[in-house]
Structure 1
Amino acid sequence: MAKFRPLGVVPLGDCAAYVEFSRTLDLQVNSMVQRLAVALRSRGLPWLRDVVPALGGVALHFDPAFEGNVLELAAELAAQCLKKGLPAAKEFESEIELPVCYEAEFAPDMDEVSKKTGLAAGEVAKRHAAAEYRVLMIGFAPGHAYLGGLDARLAVPRRATPRAQVPAGSVAIANDQTVVYPYAISGGWNVIGRTPLAVFDAGRPRPSLFAPGDRVRFRAVTGKEFARMAEQQ
């Protein structure tokens, strides 16, 4: 792991530090920081409250009572884990299949995406469901997963005007990624479908359906299938 060297360590307030490895999306770095986060958590340090992997780095949150230098310690802990070796991704990642209805009722931006890509709505849905995605990070809101692996033909910019509220379960695309809105929140991505499943539930042992590193596939379902699955939630 010697080839991965941090660019620096950035303070996040008084009790947290961000060990940065890349400022752009590098899939190798992204995979590494996810594995690094697992290695850091596995040490079971009582004063390390949380470890959060991002696109190109990892944030370490320390107990407010901790009196050491959080920047120096964050760098030291990361270096120790990299030197020792990180767990393989297959040891912690899950495979998830998510049913999605791409019909017009659930896809308010499908026509606009079709115009921008030159693809029929059915082809947009087909290409979106054909790809395998990987959770790059959880961010913006609890349970809000950013998924990499979008078909290059579907790469479109964000909406010019964000929506004040996007329905829970909405599946949307922008640039080279796709997201699934965990609950009704504001957002500016292009909505092309919706899943009937609850992707975030604070009452579950694992509230978010997604975790960094998970492999995700979408399966197209009809409106009737959507309604039946929604009733079972």
Structure 2
Amino acid sequence: MNELFYNRPQVDLVSESACLLRFSDAVNNETADRISIVAKALRELPGIVDLIPSYTTLLTVFDADHYDRFAIVARIRQLIEQLDYDEKQLSAVREVVIPVYYGPEVGPDLDEVAQHCRLSVNEIISLHSDTSYRAYAIGFTPGFAFLGNTPEVLHVPRKNTPRLKVPLGSVAIAERQTAVYPSVTPGGWQIIGRTPVTLVDWSSESLALIQGGDTVRFTPISRAEFIAMGGTLDGF
């Protein structure tokens, strides 16, 4: 058996209708791989109504009205024991490509980030867009995916004073993570660009473009391409 699954997640009841699977203390791709494979298997288990992945855990919500919680937790443990590592499952991990305009009108913190990292703006853009990220967690607002890890040289602190309004589609970095704001909200991350892509579709079954476990890449686009794709330059 591959050592990826040598350590099985710890399964604990946390309410009458949910249990928490704890996989590791380490936030990395290996942990994300394990969460993705287990989540995929649990989706086929009768009685499961929701799965909420986070950095190192998977909250599993079940139908407590029709299923005994102890019986379903026992079934979850049994399913996990039967799982084996399969490279084909990881090769099927979905990749989401997000076009980004890294321009001063939509990336007001780009120069400040460049100064902090002692790099040029072009180097910041290149490093950010050349990295493949993993959606470790979804939260804060619907569709907000916490993506990691950014290259170490791009680790920057959050802003001392958060903005009261971050425009829709803003691409930002903070500490080891990057993210796209799927709606207009307050925010304290360093904003370096904007995407014209819609991150949340309230009429779709999946709701959010980026799901937990997805890999995400950013691809630079020009100002003209951004506007042609429906992007707007207002908001600041």
Asked whether the two chains share a fold, i.e. TM above 0.5, the reply is yes
Inter-partner Cα distance in structure 1 for 2:196 and 2:78: 43
The reply to whether residue 42 of structure 1 matches residue 41 of structure 2 is: no
Inter-partner Cα distance in structure 2 for 1:30 and 1:60: 16
TM superposition outliers: structure 1 runs of 4+ over 6 Å: none
Inter-partner Cα distance in structure 2 for 1:8 and 1:84: 15
The superposition leaves residues 110-158 of structure 1 with CA deviations (integer Å, 9 ceiling, x where unpaired) of 1221121011222211211111222222222221111124222111111
- 1:89 is matched with 90
- 1:180 is matched with 180
Structure 2 SS opposite 1:211: coil
- 2:6 is matched with 3
Segments of 5+ residues of structure 2 without an aligned counterpart are 232-236
Structure 2 SS opposite 1:182: coil
Inter-partner Cα distance in structure 2 for 1:67 and 1:207: 27
Inter-partner Cα distance in structure 2 for 1:195 and 1:146: 16
The reply to whether residue 74 of structure 1 matches residue 76 of structure 2 is: no
Inter-partner Cα distance in structure 1 for 2:64 and 2:128: 44
Inter-partner Cα distance in structure 2 for 1:116 and 1:195: 23
Structure 2 SS opposite 1:225: helix
Q: CA deviation at 1:39?
A: 0.5
- 1:207 is matched with 207
Inter-partner Cα distance in structure 2 for 1:68 and 1:198: 40
Structure 1 SS opposite 2:60: strand
Q: CA deviation at 1:54?
A: 1.4
Q: CA deviation at 1:4?
A: 2.0
CA contact 1:19–1:74 (8 Å) conserved in 2? no
- What count of residue pairs does the alignment treat as equivalent? 227
- 1:192 is matched with 192
Counterparts in 2 of 1:6 and 1:178: CA distance versus 1, 3 Å: same
CA contact 1:2–1:82 (8 Å) conserved in 2? no
In structure 2, give the amino acid aligned to 1:137. Answer: A
Q: CA deviation at 1:83?
A: 2.5
Counterparts in 2 of 1:14 and 1:188: CA distance versus 1, 3 Å: farther
Structure 2 SS opposite 1:208: coil
Give RMSD over aligned pairs. 2.3
Inter-partner Cα distance in structure 2 for 1:159 and 1:140: 17
1:133-144 superposed matches below 5 A: 133-144=133-144
Segments of 5+ residues of structure 1 without an aligned counterpart are none
1:52-201 superposed matches below 5 A: 52-66=52-66, 68-69=68-69, 73-74=72-73, 76-85=75-84, 88-91=89-92, 93-201=93-201
- 1:227 is matched with 227
CA contact 2:11–2:19 (8 Å) conserved in 1? no
- 2:17 is matched with 15
- 2:234 is matched with none
CA contact 2:17–2:69 (8 Å) conserved in 1? no
The superposition leaves residues 166-214 of structure 1 with CA deviations (integer Å, 9 ceiling, x where unpaired) of 1111111111111111111222111100001101111134321112222
The normalised TM-score by structure 1 is: 0.87
Inter-partner Cα distance in structure 2 for 1:64 and 1:73: 9
In structure 2, give the amino acid aligned to 1:110. Answer: L
In structure 2, give the amino acid aligned to 1:21. Answer: F
Inter-partner Cα distance in structure 2 for 1:106 and 1:78: 48
Structure 1 SS opposite 2:105: helix
Inter-partner Cα distance in structure 2 for 1:135 and 1:90: 16
